[in-house]
Amino acid sequence: MADVDNPAFDVSLVKGDRQWRPLVEGPAGRPPKRLTIGRVALYVILIAAAIFFLIPAYVMIMTSIKPMDEIRAGGMLSLPLSPTIEPWIIAWSSTCSGLVCDGLAPGFFNSIKITVLGVFFAVLAGAVTGYAMSFWKFRGSDAVFAILIFGAFVPYQILIYPLARIYSSIGLYGSLAGLVVVHTMFGLPITTLMFRNFFRTVPPELFKAARVDGAGFIRIFLQIILPMSAPIVIVAVIWTATGIWNDYIMGLVFGGRDSKPMTTILNNIILGEFGERRYNVEMAATFITAMVPLLIYLFSGRWFIRGVTAGSVKG
Amino acid sequence: MAEIDIRDLGVAYGRLTVLEHLDLTVADGEFVVLLGPSGCGKSTLLNAIAGLQEIDSGQIHIDKQNVTWKEPSARGIAMVFQAYALYPRMTVYKNLSFALRVAGLPRDEIDKRVRRAAEMLQITPYLDRRPHALSGGQRQRVAIGRALVRNVDVFLFDEPLSNLDAQLRVELRVEIKRLHKRLGSTIVYVTHDQIEAMTLADRIAVMNRGVIQQIADTETVYERPANRFVASFVGSPGMNFINGRLLVRDGALAIQSSDQVIMLPNYDASVRSLEEGRPVVLGVRPERLKLANGGANDSHLSAIVDVYESLGGERVIWATVDGQMIAVRAGVEAERPTEGSALSLGFASSSASLFDAASGQRL
């Protein structure tokens, strides 16, 4: 409400007259910028924390581009005198893991296959399950959901042995398909939870309108619900992709000889070296392996935050 | 044609019974409004008609067919929701054509129907926009259009105007009325807004606690409410109530309140054989109370002025009768009474209502 009695209130503006009258007294315009001690302290702490967490990454990168004699000379933090990308090439294509000397490359492509397929099925299964449990409720669907979520808290170590026995009896053991099924199963509870929570924010009337319009289970999912689920799909993809890419134990147990993920190969490279340890190659190999999740976060962090907070703001 | 016939309908959410033994018949081309406070079961009833709410007992017939177990899309109905429920990732055109595409209609037929509906609702310029680029009023027009393209005979409206501001509400209300005239379709319309109900409806079904309290045209619901709930829910300010005991004087009814006898010489009781001394409640609409006696105002009562309100076009005088608050609607020409002064009021006993104090039913 405009205060008409206030002399600062400019009546002429209301009438469309663009002439400004001077304001009478007191503060006006933008507040002055101030640098308080609190602000300074905040930045000091933030910068210190950033340095603390960045030092290992810095050491890794520097070590990976130094020749071995420079590393032997010590000085972890020093910049390389004669930088080389040789260790990266060795790590990628010719270092030995066990008896095979093909570098990380085969593992990298295995990991890509496992992650793409695993993410696709885990996210799709979670989306469909969450959709069904949000919109097509049946008697006991909440109980089924609770049991499913409980699955997210079961330590997977206790399932490895029984699962391995089941797999070997049905012929899935040691195959890419088997590994993808494992990742889908273990990813399902958390992706279902994500999607169900997201669908809670979708007005049920949207679903009702689609049913009156004659659409069925699959059409409503594909044409109405899925197109508006981009934020949560992105979150689920990032989450499961990181989990599957970083997985070691499942790949080791269920991957077999031909579909070992990158992490198991990296482990072999580092533990299986004889003689002098080539720190630069190890650092390069580790960095290559860690690069994928790092890049995912770098390029989709914004979407991740947006998806996590989706629904809290009117959208 | 498309009449709706609901027989012995029952709906429960777990142990909570929402509707029980509910019967409702809507004639072909009739505009019926379900009016009631929130939680009275009116939306549940509408959803049951649409097939979006599972029912526990009873039958629903639309257009002489038993659709009790039919899918919503197979019932020959279209529905408009309060929150618009437009598909957010589709353009207005795609929203309007969705049901037709699902039904697999030929493209030129879809285009014809979409353009006709858009024309009717004046949303043609927005056909390529997404819902988020529309105002509330435009969105609700699109939602109505989505119902129109389906060429059905029954429309169900679930509080379609509640999300809009007052001015738009009036505008769209008139438009809905006009559409009904033009299409001649059967409409069931849910609202908690009595003005909407009274202006739109051929018949109003006033609901409370899952029961239809009264179903009748606007005048009957307003002037001859079936019980105290209907009397108090419809009208603003609400009907005045005065407690008392029933008397019979010279063959006519009267009531004895704590300090006066109010004669009702021309009250048309629907219940015969009323015994004296029965606790009753007299109901009189604020605008039926006149500041003058005599003439058609064959009943009178005295009150004490409490507060005086001016609403510009009319005046409301709040007064007390035996300690019970009543409102009197007076015209602008009425003199301003002094607070605390005695007020002599007259009203036509034929316009009054008499309710049983215990059951609340009209006598």
Burial class (CB in 10 A: 0-12, 13-18, 19+), A106: middle
Could you report the per-residue pLDDT of A97-138, keeping only the tens digit for each?
Answer: 777 788 888 889 999 999 999 999 999 999 999 999 999 888
The CATH number for A274's domain is 1.10.3720.10
For residues B250, B253, B257, B260, the Cα torsion angle rounded to the nearest 10 degrees is -40
A140 at B interface, C-beta within 8 A: no
Q: Which of A34 and B31 is assigned the larger pLDDT?
A: B31
Confidence check: pLDDT of B1 > 70? no
- C-alpha B34/C-alpha B157 separation (Å) is 10
Residue A247 placed within a domain: yes
Which of A300-309, B72-81, B327-336 is the least confident region?
A300-309
Confidence check: pLDDT of B158 > 90? yes
- Per-residue model confidence (pLDDT) at position B199: 92
- Which band of pLDDT confidence, cut at 50, 70 and 90, is reported for residue A7? very low
Of A206, A209, A227, the CB nearest to B79: A209
Pairing of strands B65-66, B57-62: antiparallel
Q: Domain residues of chain B, as ranges?
A: 4-233, 240-356
Residue A43 sits in the same domain as residue A182 = no
- Residue in chain A closest to B144 (alpha carbons) equals A209
Would the CB atoms of A211 and B72 count as touching at under 8 Å?
yes
Residue A190 sits in the same domain as residue A69 = no
Residue A111 sits in the same domain as residue A80 = no
Residue A77 sits in the same domain as residue A172 = no
In this prediction, the answer to ipTM > 0.90 reads: no
B49 backbone dihedrals φ, ψ, rounded to 5°: -60, -40
- Per-residue model confidence (pLDDT) at position A4: 44
Q: What is the mean pLDDT of residues A193-216?
A: 92
Would the CB atoms of A214 and B47 count as touching at under 8 Å?
no
Would the CB atoms of B85 and A224 count as touching at under 8 Å?
no
- Residue in chain A closest to B49 (alpha carbons) equals A212
* Dihedral over Cα of A201, A206, A211, A217: its sign: negative
Asked whether B255 and B232 are in contact (CB, 8 A), the reply is: no
Choosing among 1.10.10.10, 3.90.580.10, 3.40.50.300, 3.40.50.11270, the CATH entry for B4-233 is: 3.40.50.300
Question: Where do we find the tokens 């409720």?
Answer: A137
Residue A304 sits in the same domain as residue A166 = yes
* Dihedral over Cα of A200, A203, A208, A213: its sign: negative
Residue A43 placed within a domain: yes
Residue A41 sits in the same domain as residue A149 = no
DSSP 8-state code for residue A151? G
Residue A12 placed within a domain: no
- Per-residue model confidence (pLDDT) at position A11: 46
Confidence check: pLDDT of B212 > 50? yes
Q: Is B268 helix (H, G, I), strand (E, B) or coil?
A: coil
Q: How many CB atoms lie within 10 A of CB B185?
A: 21
- C-alpha A73/C-alpha A71 separation (Å) is 5
Burial class (CB in 10 A: 0-12, 13-18, 19+), A47: exposed
* Range picked from A209-213, A290-294, A297-301, B294-298 for highest mean pLDDT: A209-213
- Report chain A residues whose CB lies below 8 A from the CB of B14: none
Residue A244 placed within a domain: yes
A211 at B interface, C-beta within 8 A: yes
Q: Which amino acid is at A131?
A: Y
What single string gives the DSSP state of each residue in A240-276?
Answer: HHHHHHH--HHHHHHSTTTT--HHHHHHHHHHS--SS
Asked whether B357 and B341 are in contact (CB, 8 A), the reply is: no
- Per-residue model confidence (pLDDT) at position A312: 43
DSSP 8-state code for residue A82? S
- Which band of pLDDT confidence, cut at 50, 70 and 90, is reported for residue A20? low
* Dihedral over Cα of B222, B223, B224, B230: its sign: positive
Could you report the per-residue pLDDT of B265-281, keeping only the tens digit for each?
Answer: 888 887 766 778 889 99
Would the CB atoms of A213 and B73 count as touching at under 8 Å?
yes
Residue A134 sits in the same domain as residue A257 = yes
Closest to A58 in 3D by CA, of A82, A75, A38: A75
Question: Where do we find the tokens 């997201």?
Answer: A198
Of B77, B82, B89, the CB nearest to A212: B77
Domain end residue (candidates: A55, A84, A113): A84
Burial class (CB in 10 A: 0-12, 13-18, 19+), A34: exposed
- Per-residue model confidence (pLDDT) at position A315: 37
Asked whether B156 and B46 are in contact (CB, 8 A), the reply is: yes
Give percent above pLDDT 90 in chain A: 39
Strand partners, B59: B7
Residue A134 sits in the same domain as residue A249 = yes
Confidence check: pLDDT of B80 > 90? yes
Confidence check: pLDDT of B354 > 50? yes
Q: What is the mean pLDDT of residues A51-60?
A: 92
Q: Retrieve residue B183's tokens.
A: 């299409």
Residue A116 sits in the same domain as residue A198 = yes
Residue A76 sits in the same domain as residue A129 = no
- C-alpha A104/C-alpha A286 separation (Å) is 10
Closest to A204 in 3D by CA, of A188, A224, A218, A190: A224
Residue A260 placed within a domain: yes
Residue A9 placed within a domain: no
- Per-residue model confidence (pLDDT) at position A12: 43
Could you report the per-residue pLDDT of B231-264, keeping only the tens digit for each?
Answer: 999 988 889 999 999 888 777 888 888 888 888 8
Choosing among 2.40.50.140, 2.60.40.420, 3.60.20.10, 3.30.70.20, the CATH entry for B240-356 is: 2.40.50.140
Strand partners, A29: none
CA A189 centroid distance within chain: 16
Of A203, A213, A227, the CB nearest to B99: A213
Of A211, A224, A227, the CB nearest to B52: A211
- Which band of pLDDT confidence, cut at 50, 70 and 90, is reported for residue A309? low
A46 at B interface, C-beta within 8 A: no
- C-alpha B191/C-alpha B162 separation (Å) is 8
- Which band of pLDDT confidence, cut at 50, 70 and 90, is reported for residue A19? low
Residue A64 sits in the same domain as residue A135 = no
Give me the sheet containing B342-347, strands edge to edge: B324-330, B315-321, B299-310, B342-347
DSSP 8-state code for residue A313? B
Domain range for residue A128?
A: 105-308
Could you report the per-residue pLDDT of B122-153, keeping only the tens digit for each?
Answer: 999 999 999 989 988 899 999 999 999 988 99
N residues, chain A: 315
Domain count, chain A: 2
Beta strands (DSSP E) in B112-229 are: 154-158, 186-191, 203-208, 211-216
Terminal Cα-to-Cα distance of chain B (whole angstroms): 38
Q: Is B100 helix (H, G, I), strand (E, B) or coil?
A: helix
Size of interface A-B (CB pairs under 8 A): 63
- C-alpha B144/C-alpha B126 separation (Å) is 14
Residue A284 placed within a domain: yes
- Per-residue model confidence (pLDDT) at position B312: 82
Confidence check: pLDDT of A199 > 90? yes
Q: Retrieve residue B114's tokens.
A: 């979409």
A137 at B interface, C-beta within 8 A: no
Confidence check: pLDDT of B353 > 70? yes
Residue A77 sits in the same domain as residue A187 = no
- C-alpha A15/C-alpha A9 separation (Å) is 13
